Chains A and B, each alone.
Chain A
Amino acid sequence: MWIIAKISVKEILYKRIFIVIFLMSFAFLCFYGIGTYYAGKEMASSGMGNIQNVLANNFFATQFLGIGLYFAAFITSLLAIFSSVGSLSREIESRQIESVLCRALPRHSFVLGKLIGLGGILLLFAAFLFAGVLLINQWFGGQLRVDLDFGQLMQASGLFLLRVLILAAVSLAFSARISTLNSGIIMIMLYIISMIGGFIEQFGAVLKKQVLIDTGIVISLIFPLDSVFRKMMICLFDSADNPISFVSQGLLGSMSVPSDLMIIYACLYGLIALGIAIRSFTVRDI
Chain B
Amino acid sequence: MSDYVIKTQDLTKLYAGDKGCREITLQVPRGVVYGFLGPNGAGKSTFVRTLLGLIRPTSGTASVLEHPISSVASRQQVGYLPELFRYPDWMTGIQLLKFHADLCKVPHTEQKARIHHLLERVGLHQRGEEKIRGYSKGMQQRIGLACALISDPALVFLDEPTSALDPIGRKEVRELISDLRAEGKTVFLNSHLLSEVENVCDHVAIINKGRLVVQGDWRELRTVQAQVEVTISDVEDEWWASLSDLVTGWKRLSSWDGKSAWLLTLSEASQIPALVSTLTSRQIDVYQVTPKQQNLEELFMYWINKKEGAEHVDNR
Q: Which of A166-201 contact B (CB under 8 A)?
A: none
8 Å CB interface, B131-151 against A? 144, 147-148, 151
Known: A98-B82, A99-B87. A106 touches B99 (CB 8 A): no
Interface centre among B88, B104, B144 (most CB of A within 10 A): B88
> Which residues from chain A contact B75 at a C-beta distance below 8 Å?
102-105
Decide yes or no: A103 and B53 within 8 Å by CB, A11-B88, A14-B90 being known contacts.
Answer: no
Determine whether B56 belongs to the interface, using a CB cutoff of 8 Å to chain A: yes
Size of the chain A interface, CB-CB below 8 angstroms: 20
B55 within 8 Å of A (CB atoms): yes
Contacts of B84 in A (CB 8 A): 95, 98
Q: Is A30 an interface residue (CB 8 A)?
A: no
Say whether A101 contacts B53, CB under 8 Å.
yes
A96 within 8 A of B: yes
Q: Find out whether the CB atom of B76 lies under 8 angstroms from the CB atom of A99.
A: no
Restricting to A85-122, which residues have a CB under 8 Å from any CB of B? 94-96, 98-106
**Highest count of chain B CB atoms <10 Å: which of A7, A95, A104, A105:** A104
List of B residues within 8 angstroms of A105 by Cβ: 72, 75, 103
Q: Name the CB-closest residue of B to A93.
A: B86
Closest chain B CB from A209 CB (angstroms) = 51
Bound CA–CA A3/B148 (angstroms): 18
Cα distance A100–B82 in the bound complex, in angstroms: 11
Interface string of A1-40 (1 = CB under 8 A from B): 0010001000100110000000000000000000000000
Contact B100 A99 (CB under 8 A): yes
Expressed in whole angstroms, the minimum distance between the Cβ of A257 and any Cβ of chain B is 46
Check if A99 sits within 8 Å of B53, measured CB to CB.
Answer: no
Please, which residues of chain A bring their CB within 8 A of the CB of B147? 99
Question: B72 touching A99 by the CB < 8 A rule?
Answer: no
Min CB distance A37 to B, Å, is: 40
Least distance between A99 CB and chain B CB atoms (Å) = 6
If A98-B49, A104-B76, A283-B56 are given as contacts, then 19 extra A-B residue pairs at C-beta distance below 8 Å, sorted by A number, are: A7-B99, A11-B90, A15-B90, A95-B84, A98-B54, A98-B84, A99-B81, A99-B100, A100-B100, A100-B103, A101-B54, A102-B53, A103-B75, A104-B73, A105-B72, A105-B75, A106-B72, A286-B49, A286-B54
A interface residue numbers (CB < 8 A to B): 3, 7, 11, 14-15, 94-96, 98-106, 283, 285-286
